[in-house]
């Protein structure tokens, strides 16, 4: 089987690594990939958002399956373009990808499906939004409706902070057109968990949960990032909670999407708050999380390619996934300055030594080879240093031993990944 994987981050390196272990795989291309992916697959210089270029390549190479990592090509219609060209694609249609692309759309769908979430209201008028915030009081959450690179959400501790956020998003348009409409939500309290379910349009198969660390600094301080580390499984996410999430959140959403004529195929990523009154939905994403995917792939024992094909072909009702009992952790190494401005081009050494730590697996996120063949940093999040272990404490020990083997003075990482489960 010939596979084209789209994307070039740590998530895609982890997916490429898992796909490489499949007995069904013949050839794997990754567009655009990165320096780590280039060691296990053939990278092709096509941007992840170049829908026409990706489809043309897939046709020319007789690709059997396109696997889409990030959300942007999905919202741009890559799955639809593949379908039109007769190529199987793992990932939802543009219409179903609206579950990530539009928060207001998601609220409509989940309200119709009776999914437990935050109380919410939507506004296109800033004065009305401010009046609503004053009436509800704080803490309260203000969100830009469209995609804002993960930065369109303000959890406001005071009414003044919420009003300020409304002004910035709607009137100053700091996130551009994404701020034409906003949502204002009740602030949910509890532990946050990322949960993943494989979907084929009608059947949903639970995968696993992971806990991400969104803030840049130890102790969950500083600005939000794409995610600075993750572990799986989170002890707070019990089998009872998983069953509730499947019954109250995932399956009703899948049924509602099918009813609307836009069935969801792909991986549904539920951002959940484990509140005192049970799990509640914060948001959906229509792809694997990054770095969550890295720990999921370390724990997955089933053939990933077979699972993705079953999702594409509507055969998940006959499929089962096996997971390791072991724990896994990933520590993200980022360029100093991230998520603000950072330098590119610094040299990274010591990955061979890191790879020798028992249980460790280093995934590349933002790396390339320079003219001399040296490994250099090309992004904000640069490496996902991952490890598995019999316990979470062992996985943490191995992950940080591997981090310490990496020689990259221009990089940094959090030192407390897993603290909620380990303290
Ligand atoms: P998002 O960009 O939608 O992933 O949201 C970013 C972060 O804001 C989430 O990971 C949560 O930590 C927080 N958040 C979003 N909505 C809520 C809510 N209704 N209550 C509490 N926290 C929230
Ligand atoms: N790590 C969170 C995300 O991928 O959105």
| CATH number of the domain where residue 144 is located | 3.30.1490.20
Q: Could you tell me if residue 104 is inside a domain? A: no
What number is the average pLDDT over the span 398-415?
98
**Nearest ligand by distance to the CA of 69:** 2
* Residue of the CA atom closest to atom 2 of ligand 2: 289
Which of 318, 352, 381 is at the close of a domain?
Answer: 318
Which of 297, 318, 339 is at the close of a domain?
Answer: 318
Mutate to test the pocket of ligand 1, among 145, 154, 283 (most ligand atoms within 8 A of CB): 283
21: confidence class by pLDDT, cuts 50, 70, 90: very high
**Cα 283 to averaged position of ligand 1 atoms, centre (Å):** 8
CA 383 – CA 405 distance, rounded (Å): 13
Asked if omega into 248 is within 30° of 0 (cis), the reply is no
Residues 332 and 314 in one domain: no
Structure-token pair, residue 135: 């009436």
* Atom number, ligand 2, closest to the C-alpha of residue 227: 1
pLDDT over threshold 90, residue 246: yes
Q: Are 200 and 190 a contacting pair, CB within 8 Å?
A: no
Q: Could you tell me if residue 407 is inside a domain? A: yes
Residue 148 confidence (pLDDT): 65
Residues 149 and 219 in one domain: no
The parent domain of residue 59 ranges over 2-91
CA 143 – CA 327 distance, rounded (Å): 34
Residues 160 and 196 in one domain: no
Say which residue the tokens 């946050």 belong to.
192
* Atom number, ligand 1, closest to the C-alpha of residue 186: 19
CATH assignment at residue 307: 3.30.470.20
* Residue of the CA atom closest to atom 4 of ligand 2: 289
Residues 175 and 195 in one domain: no
Structure-token pair, residue 41: 């697959």
Residues 204 and 314 in one domain: yes
pLDDT over threshold 90, residue 241: yes
**Cα 57 to averaged position of ligand 1 atoms, centre (Å):** 37
Q: Could you tell me if residue 98 is inside a domain? A: no
Q: Could you tell me if residue 278 is inside a domain? A: yes
**Cα 119 to averaged position of ligand 1 atoms, centre (Å):** 13
CATH assignment at residue 371: 3.90.600.10
Residues 208 and 286 in one domain: yes
Residues 142 and 232 in one domain: no
Convert the pLDDT of each residue in 288-315 to its tens digit.
Answer: 999 999 999 999 999 999 999 999 999 9
What number is the average pLDDT over the span 52-81?
98
Residue 359 confidence (pLDDT): 97
pLDDT over threshold 70, residue 150: no
Q: How many residues does the chain have?
A: 423
Could you list the beta-strand ranges (E) of 118-167: 120-123, 140-144, 153-156
CB 145 less than 6 A from any atom of ligand 2: no
**Nearest ligand by distance to the CA of 225:** 2
Average pLDDT, the chain: 96
pTM above 0.75, yes or no: yes
Q: Could you tell me if residue 387 is inside a domain? A: yes
Q: Could you tell me if residue 112 is inside a domain? A: no
Residues 345 and 249 in one domain: no
Q: Are 99 and 283 a contacting pair, CB within 8 Å?
A: no
* Residue of the CA atom closest to atom 15 of ligand 1: 282
Convert the pLDDT of each residue in 170-200 to its tens digit.
Answer: 999 888 887 889 999 999 999 999 999 999 9
Q: Could you tell me if residue 100 is inside a domain? A: no
pLDDT over threshold 70, residue 403: yes
**Which residues, listed in sequence order, are joined to residue 121 by a DSSP beta bridge?**
184
CB 212 less than 6 A from any atom of ligand 2: yes
Q: Could you tell me if residue 110 is inside a domain? A: no
**Cα 327 to averaged position of ligand 1 atoms, centre (Å):** 26
Residues 347 and 307 in one domain: no
What number is the average pLDDT over the span 316-338?
97
CATH assignment at residue 71: 3.40.50.20
Mutate to test the pocket of ligand 1, among 155, 210, 222, 420 (most ligand atoms within 8 A of CB): 155
Which of 318, 342, 361 is at the close of a domain?
Answer: 318
Residue 145 confidence (pLDDT): 81
What residue ranges line ligand 1, CB within 6 angstroms?
A: 118, 141, 150, 153, 155, 185-188, 192, 214, 271, 282-283
**Regarding beta strands 153-156 and 204-212, do their DSSP bridges make them parallel or antiparallel, or are they unpaired?**
unpaired
**Regarding beta strands 27-32 and 42-43, do their DSSP bridges make them parallel or antiparallel, or are they unpaired?**
parallel
Mutate to test the pocket of ligand 1, among 105, 276, 282 (most ligand atoms within 8 A of CB): 282
In terms of Cα–Cα distance, which of 271, 72, 201, 113 is closest to 105?
A: 113
**Cα 296 to averaged position of ligand 2 atoms, centre (Å):** 13
CA 369 – CA 37 distance, rounded (Å): 12
Residues 217 and 274 in one domain: yes
Q: Total domain count for the chain?
A: 4
Residues 199 and 310 in one domain: yes
Task: Give the residue ranges of DSSP H helices in 230-384.
Answer: 239-245, 251-259, 292-299, 304-312, 351-355
Residues 241 and 312 in one domain: yes
């Amino acid at each position: 089987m010939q596979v084209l994987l789209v994307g070039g981050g740590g998530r895609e390196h982890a997916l490429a690594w898992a796909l490489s272990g499949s007995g069904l795989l013949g050839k794997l291309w990754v567009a655009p990939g990165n320096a780590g992916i280039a060691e296990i697959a053939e990278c092709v210089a096509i941007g992840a958002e170049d829908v026409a270029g990706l489809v043309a390549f897939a046709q020319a190479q007789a690709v059997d399956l396109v696997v889409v990592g990030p959300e942007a090509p999905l919202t741009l219609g890559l799955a639809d373009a593949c379908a039109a060209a007769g190529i199987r694609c793992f990932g939802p249609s543009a219409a179903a990808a609206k579950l990530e692309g539009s928060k207001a759309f998601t609220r409509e769908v989940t309200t119709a499906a009776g999914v437990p979430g935050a109380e919410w209201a939507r506004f296109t008028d800033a004065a009305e939004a401010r009046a609503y915030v004053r009436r509800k009081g704080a803490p309260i959450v203000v969100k830009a409706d469209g995609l804002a690179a993960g930065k369109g959400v303000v959890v406001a501790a005071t009414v003044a902070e919420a009003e300020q956020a409304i002004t910035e998003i709607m009137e100053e348009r700091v996130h551009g057109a994404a701020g034409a409409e906003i949502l204002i939500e009740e602030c949910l309290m509890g532990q946050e968990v990322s949960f993943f379910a494989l979907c084929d349009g009608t059947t949903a198969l639970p995968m696993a949960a992971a806990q991400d660390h969104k803030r840049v600094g130890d102790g969950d301080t500083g600005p939000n990032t794409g995610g600075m580390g993750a572990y799986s499984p989170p002890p707070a996410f019990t089998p009872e909670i998983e069953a509730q999430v499947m019954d109250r959140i995932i399956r009703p959403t899948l049924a509602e999407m099918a009813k609307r004529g836009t069935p969801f195929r792909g991986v549904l990523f539920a951002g959940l708050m484990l509140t005192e009154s049970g799990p509640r939905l914060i948001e959906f994403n229509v792809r694997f999380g990054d770095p969550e995917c890295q720990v999921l792939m370390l724990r997955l024992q089933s053939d990933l390619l077979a699972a993705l094909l079953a999702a594409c072909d509507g055969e998940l009702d006959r499929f089962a996934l096996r997971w390791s009992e072991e724990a896994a952790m990933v520590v993200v190494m980022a360029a100093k300055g991230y998520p603000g401005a950072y330098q590119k081009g610094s040299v990274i050494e010591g990955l061979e030594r890191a790879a020798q730590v028992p249980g460790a697996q280093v995934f590349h996120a933002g790396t390339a080879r320079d003219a001399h063949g040296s490994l250099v940093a090309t992004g904000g999040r640069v490496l996902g240093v991952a490890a598995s272990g019999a316990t979470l404490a062992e996985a943490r020990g191995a992950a940080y031993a591997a981090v310490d083997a990496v020689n990259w003075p221009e990089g940094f990482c959090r030192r407390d990944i897993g603290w909620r489960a380990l303290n």
